[in-house]
């Protein structure tokens, strides 16, 4: 079985500071990992994904995520937060070769304070 | 750019009514999905389809059915709506044959059952 955990329901950060949104996962094989963002009253938008290769993945809007196999983590990061980054962020995982569908985390509400 | 359109943004229905949620995508994607989103629970997969007239149950199919008569359209049906089906419903699509293909989401339908 596959699962994903986002341990923080809410993250607050000041504008201009670095931000991190945490995600840990559990799979029996190798993972495909994704981050999505949801703005108010909208559907989810794809940010970035890890498939294989380089552990640091760069995505849209200046976001990046680091895959850490030993810690089974895939934390989302941005060097300098913007107020417009305030949104709900979802991590998702799919076990390569054994699962056909994504499993989503419960979401983390990011608030960037001006 | 992929567009996934959900026919209603807000719906209010009475207990026991039959409810249809419609979703159309314009990029010839083979895969289509229905999720429900509830606070603290993230996204949970209700049903999905990999081809016309094909459907598979997701994690929470009870009380729902689906229809896919045309490739671009995927309908979610609540046979007899209940108050515990009050939720945000999200439709998504993706390309077949690419295990790591991102999901493209519609803007969601917020359903209230009274």
Contact A44 B43 (CB under 8 A): yes
Percentage of chain B with pLDDT > 70? 96
- A44-63 per-position pLDDT tens digit: 999 999 998 889 999 999 99
Q: List the single best residue of B58, B102, B107 to mutate versus A (max A Cβ within 10 A).
A: B102
- Determine the pLDDT at residue B102: 86
Confidence of residue B99 (pLDDT cuts 50, 70, 90): low
- Calculate Rg over the CA atoms of chain A: 14
Give yes or no for residue B63 having a pLDDT over 90. Answer: yes
Question: CA dihedral in degrees (A7, A10, A14, A20; nearest 10)?
Answer: 20
Give yes or no for residue B108 having a pLDDT over 90. Answer: yes
Give yes or no for residue A39 having a pLDDT over 80. Answer: yes
Give yes or no for residue A93 having a pLDDT over 70. Answer: yes
Rounded-to-integer distance, Cα B4 and Cα B26, Å: 7
User: Which chain A residues are within 8 Å of B92, Cβ to Cβ?
Assistant: 43-44
Nearest to B42 among A41, A51, A105 (CB): A105
User: Which chain A residues are within 8 Å of B42, Cβ to Cβ?
Assistant: 90, 104-107
User: Which chain B residues are within 8 Å of A41, Cβ to Cβ?
Assistant: 9, 107-108
Nearest to B105 among A43, A49, A51 (CB): A43
Q: Taking every pair of C-alpha atoms in chain A, what is the biggest distance, in angstroms?
A: 44
- B19-50 per-position pLDDT tens digit: 999 999 998 899 999 999 999 899 999 999 98
Confidence of residue A7 (pLDDT cuts 50, 70, 90): very high
CA-nearest residue to A88 within chain B is B42
Distance (Å) from the C-alpha of residue A40 to the closest C-alpha of chain B? 10
B95 and chain A in contact, CB less than 8 A: no
- Determine the pLDDT at residue B40: 87
- Calculate Rg over the CA atoms of chain B: 13
CA-nearest residue to A48 within chain B is B102
CA-nearest residue to B33 within chain A is A101
Cβ–Cβ under 8 Å, residues B15 and B112: no
- Determine the pLDDT at residue B35: 96
Q: What angle do CA A41, A42, A44 make, to 5 degrees?
A: 140
């Amino acid at each position: 079985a596959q699962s994903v955990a986002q341990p923080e329901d809410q993250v607050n950060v000041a504008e201009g500071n670095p931000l991190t949104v945490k995600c840990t996962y559990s799979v029996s094989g190798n993972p495909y990992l994704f981050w999505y963002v949801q703005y108010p009253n909208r559907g989810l938008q794809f940010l970035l994904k890890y498939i294989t290769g380089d552990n640091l993945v760069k995505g849209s809007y200046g976001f990046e995520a680091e895959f850490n196999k030993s810690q089974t983590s895939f934390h989302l990061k941005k060097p300098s937060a913007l107020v417009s980054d305030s949104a709900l962020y979802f991590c998702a995982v799919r076990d390569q070769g054994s699962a056909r569908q994504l499993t989503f985390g419960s979401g983390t509400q990011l608030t960037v304070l001006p | 750019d992929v567009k996934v359109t959900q026919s209603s943004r807000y719906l209010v229905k009475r207990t026991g009514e039959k409810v249809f949620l419609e979703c159309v995508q314009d990029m010839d994607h083979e895969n289509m999905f229905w999720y429900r989103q509830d606070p603290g629970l993230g996204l949970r997969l209700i049903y999905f389809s990999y081809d016309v007239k094909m459907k598979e149950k997701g994690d929470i199919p009870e009380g729902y059915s689906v229809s896919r008569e045309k490739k671009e359209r995927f309908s979610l049906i609540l046979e007899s709506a209940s108050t515990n089906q009050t939720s945000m419903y999200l439709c998504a699509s993706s390309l077949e044959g690419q295990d790591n293909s991102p999901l493209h989401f519609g803007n969601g339908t917020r359903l209230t059952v009274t």
